[in-house]
Structure formats: structure tokens, C-alpha cells
Amino acid sequence: MPLRPLAGIPSAQTTYLQKTRTFHSADDFARATGGKVAIQRQLDHQKHKAWREVTAPVPLAEFTVVANESPSITWIGTRQGAIRFSQDFRVRVYFAGHRWLPDDHVTGIGFDGAAVWLETSKGFARIEYKSMTLADKSRIFVDRVQARHNRWGLTADSQLRVPGDLTSNQMASSDNDGLWTAMYVAAECFRYKVTGAPDARANARRGMEAIVRLETITGIAGFPARSFIKVGEDVQPMDGEWHDTPDKVWRWKGDTSSDEIVGH
């Protein structure tokens, strides 16, 4: 029997706005905009005073620039990031740190259609609100997990050896390999039930096989390892209790905790 949407719950075709960002140099900005995007850098002190009066609860007192994206949306640059306000002040989105900005000190703001350019001394952040469905968002995460978090079927930690450079990705063993894999298997089972997507079933099966292997690799019935690595290929963690398999090809971590069992 096919699943039906619950009353009041958005369907997979419901669209919403998803925030995305990319970083750019000053030359990148010039090439991308062709000189058609004006960056506001001067602080209008009358506007600053007005916004300080209505946003006093915001703990960012030192504004650097205030710019209107539209009659209903205003952006504020500060020395500690940027804030996006709706006209009724109910929606306040704070952007800071390397997740969103090359540097927290915002020196200018410009608008390019659905995107905003935030200027800092270390380059520009281009933040765009893209219309997408929940299915679109799901696909992004599925692809990301398979590309950068699939270590021998386990849903693994991923570390960038060079910040921001996805080609420097390196997967690593962690104490929660089994827990994260179990949660991912459950999620892909649900996705397969709802969509019938063959890759969801394949991902769930691969993850389940890895979970089963956490037990078989120890040789102790009912006792799963925390994690396992391939000797000479995976990075050897420096903590915990590790044991070699009889053929010395694999190594498993044996200090499994009760909360890890609960996770499974």
C-alpha cells in the first residue's frame, strides 16, 4: 500500500529556499558580475541609528554597513559577521565563521538577483537562497555521503586536509562508525520505502553488511567492534584497544561501549 502524505506535512514536491554559499576573490567577483553589482561600503548613519533602535537585543553593536535587498529584507554587516532581517524582524539569520564568510569583518554588501555578495578583507562570500524540493535536498546529502563518507560501507567521519578543498578529503575511523552507519541504514530504508529508489536499497544493504561485519570481524558472537580499518590504507587512530585479524590485513577496535550498542 503506497504511503500517503500526512495532513499538514509538506510533500516531496513542496519547494522552500535553501541557503548556499561560495567564496570568491576580488577578481572572481569582478568576472562574475561584470561590474554590474554595486558594493555598498559607506555606513548610512541615519539608517544605522534607526536599526540600532529596533535591533537593540542583537549582541552585535558595531555595524559596518546596512543595505536593503528589497523593501522587506535588510542586511547588516558587522565586525563579527552579517545578519539578514525580514521587515517584521521575525526572521533573523546570522552568518559568521568559515561556514559562511572568508572573514567575519564585513566591509561591503551588494545584491545580484537572488544572491547577496558579502565583502571582507579576505574575499567575497556569495550567499544565494535557492528554490528546491525536499527530494532535491535529500539527493545532495545522499551524493555527499557516498562521495566522501563511505569507508568500507561504514558511514565514516570525513576530514579535509586542506580547509575548503574537497579533493583533500580523507575518511577516518571513529568510535561511532557503527552508530552513524546504523542511522544511515535506517534513513535509506525509509527513503527506499517512500521512493522505491534502487540506490537507497543498495546503500542500506551495503551499510547493513558493514554493521554485520563489525561483529564478525571480532570473532566473538554478539560483540561488535567499535570500528575497523585496513592496515596500511586507513589512518591508524592513536587511542583505544586495537586487535589484528588473523591474516593481519584488518584491525578492529574492541573497547565498545554500552551507548554504542544502543546506537546499533
- Answer yes or no: is 2 within a domain: no
Which domain covers residue 63, as residue numbers? Answer: 16-131
Q: 26-63 burial by CB neighbour count: b if 16+ within 10 A, else e?
A: eeebeebbeeebebbeeeeeebeeebeeebeebebeeb
Q: Do 125 and 168 lie in a common domain? A: no
Q: Do 178 and 250 lie in a common domain? A: yes
Write down the pLDDT at residue 200. Answer: 97
Domain end position, chosen among 96, 131, 166 = 131
- Answer yes or no: is 4 within a domain: no
In sign, the C-alpha dihedral spanning 101, 104, 108, 109 is: positive
Q: Do 54 and 73 lie in a common domain? A: yes
Q: Do 45 and 142 lie in a common domain? A: no
Q: Do 121 and 47 lie in a common domain? A: yes
Q: Which of 122, 49, 126, 68 is nearest to 95 (CA)?
A: 126
Write down the pLDDT at residue 56. Answer: 47
Write down the pLDDT at residue 46. Answer: 63
- Answer yes or no: is 9 within a domain: no
- Answer yes or no: is 235 within a domain: yes
Three-state secondary structure of the chain:
CCCCCCCCCCCCCCEEEEEEEEEECHHHHHHHHCCCCCCECCCCHHHHHHHHHHCCCCCCCCEEEEEEEECCEEEEEECCEEEEEECCCCCEEEECCCCCCCCCCEEEEEEECCEEEEEECCEEEEEEEEEEEHHHHHHHHHHHHHHHCEECCEECEEEECCCCCHHHEEEECCCCHHHHHHHHHHHHHHHHHHHCCHHHHHHHHHHHHHHHHHHHCCCCCCCCCCEEEECCCCCCCCCCCEEECCCCCEEEECCCCHHHHHHC
Write down the pLDDT at residue 47. Answer: 61
Q: Do 208 and 125 lie in a common domain? A: no
- Answer yes or no: is 91 within a domain: yes
- Answer yes or no: is 3 within a domain: no
40, 46, 50, 53 alpha-carbon torsion, rounded to 10°: 110
- Answer yes or no: is 121 within a domain: yes
Domain end position, chosen among 104, 131, 158 = 131
Q: How long a stretch of residues is the chain?
A: 264
Q: Do 139 and 236 lie in a common domain? A: yes
pTM: 0.75
- Answer yes or no: is 207 within a domain: yes
From first to last of its 264 residues, the chain has per-residue pLDDT tens of 344 444 455 555 688 888 899 999 999 999 999 889 989 887 766 666 656 555 545 656 688 998 888 888 889 899 999 998 877 666 678 999 999 999 999 999 999 988 999 999 999 999 998 888 988 989 999 999 999 999 999 999 998 888 778 889 999 999 999 999 999 999 999 999 999 999 999 999 999 999 999 999 999 999 999 999 999 999 999 999 999 999 999 999 999 998 888 888
Q: Do 57 and 147 lie in a common domain? A: no
Write down the pLDDT at residue 3. Answer: 43
Q: Do 108 and 199 lie in a common domain? A: no
In sign, the C-alpha dihedral spanning 147, 150, 152, 158 is: positive
Structural domain count of the chain: 2
Distance CA 204, CA 166 (A): 25
Q: Do 63 and 99 lie in a common domain? A: yes
Domain end position, chosen among 131, 163, 190 = 131
Beta-carbon contacts of 45 under 8 Å, excluding residues fewer than 6 positions away, are none
Q: Do 139 and 210 lie in a common domain? A: yes
Q: Do 238 and 145 lie in a common domain? A: yes
Beta-carbon contacts of 25 under 8 Å, excluding residues fewer than 6 positions away, are 123, 124
